[in-house]
Structure 1
Amino acid sequence: MLRGGVEERLTDKQLDVLETAYLAGFFDQPRTSSGNDVADLLGVSQPTFNQQRRAAERKLVEFLVDER
């Protein structure tokens, strides 16, 4: 669970995208799943997954920078 108000900045879809990507191993090094794999799990196209992931990541970074 995200803390400190981060979850309030993300949409439910963005939270779902990040959680699914994380659990699928998308953020592992090396990756154990691709963007296509995660998109399939979410039932969306790979470009849609990428857009939603980037939007969520941008909000997370904005939150971290704003909180400094």
Structure 2
Amino acid sequence: MGMKDTFDKAKKLAGQHSDKAEQGIDKAAEHAKQRTGGKYDEHIDKAGGSAGEYVRKQGEQDRER
């Protein structure tokens, strides 16, 4: 299985389980904030928001199919 196949599989799973994926993103962001001592909170929030938005869109597309 190549990298593209792995990415495609991850996208499909994220779409099918977008609620759980978003919870995982939130948990990872909080962990990253703790580990960095708040130094990069703004960047972590932005990345987490972008990732969450992507997962939500994948979930919506999956439901439309």
TM-score by length of structure 1 reads: 0.45
Greater RCO (CA < 8 Å, at least 6 residues apart) = 2
TM-score by length of structure 2 reads: 0.46
Q: Which has the higher helix share?
A: 2
Structure number with greater Rg is 2
